């Protein structure tokens, strides 16, 4: 089953954040599919414990012939390769976080995967870079464009361009 274009959100708040994201993009292109667009980098406050380091975030799109479950498995493998440690603490700091935001216009709901990402429309750090890549892309469940979702987003966290030249 070919899902075509897949949109990912990437984030890092430990170590060399920009390097971790660059390596994740390289790994995605090797193991998941050809990356065709990369958004600008954005810096965002952590969710949950505000004392954690800020995140560097971006979104990418890639063409893939893998199924959503295969893509998720590859994302977890890439995260582990890049030093991510999965623990019991939700929103813990991490070297890399790779989330599948959309798999084309498909809706996937299994015990281990939900696509579109169930929180994406509520997060500025996802919607701002997604709006650069595909402002007219329509959320398959909410039937609103990324641009509409960004303009209606209830998120009040601070998301901005990085201040130290990370791009």
Domain tally, the chain: 1
Is the residue at 167 inside a domain? no
Indicate the pLDDT class of residue 86, thresholds 50, 70 and 90.
confident
pLDDT classification of 87: cutoffs 50, 70, 90? low
14 in a domain, yes or no? yes
Look at residue 85 and tell me if it is in a domain.
yes
Q: Is residue 166 part of a domain?
A: no
d(CA 154, CA 167): 26
With respect to residue 8, please indicate whether it lies within any of the assigned structural domains: yes
Domain that holds residue 121: 4-160
**Structure tokens of 142?**
């909410």
Q: Quick check: is 43 in a domain?
A: yes
> Domain with 119 in it: what CATH number?
3.30.70.560
pLDDT digits 0-9 by tens, 39-63: 999 999 988 888 889 999 999 999 9
Alpha carbon distance 136, 145 (integer Å): 5
Residue 115 lies in a domain: yes
Q: Is residue 75 part of a domain?
A: yes
pTM: 0.93
111-138 pLDDT, tens digit each: 889 999 999 999 999 999 999 999 999 9
């Amino acid at each position: 089953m070919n899902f075509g274009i897949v949109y990912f959100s990437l984030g890092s708040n430990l170590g060399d954040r920009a390097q971790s994201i660059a390596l994740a993009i390289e790994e995605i292109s090797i193991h998941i599919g050809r990356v065709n667009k990369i958004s600008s980098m954005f810096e965002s406050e952590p969710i949950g414990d505000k004392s954690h380091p800020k995140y560097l975030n971006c979104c990418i799109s890639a063409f893939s012939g893998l199924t959503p479950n295969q893509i998720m498995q590859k994302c977890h493998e890439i995260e582990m390769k890049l030093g991510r440690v999965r623990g019991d603490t939700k929103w813990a700091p991490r070297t890399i976080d790779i989330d599948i935001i959309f798999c084309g216009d498909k809706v996937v709901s299994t015990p281990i995967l939900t696509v579109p990402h169930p929180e994406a429309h509520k997060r500025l750090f996802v919607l701002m870079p997604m709006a650069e890549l595909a402002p007219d892309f329509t959320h398959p469940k909410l039937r609103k464009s990324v641009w509409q979702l960004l303009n209606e987003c209830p998120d009040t966290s601070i998301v901005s361009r990085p201040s130290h030249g990370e791009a």
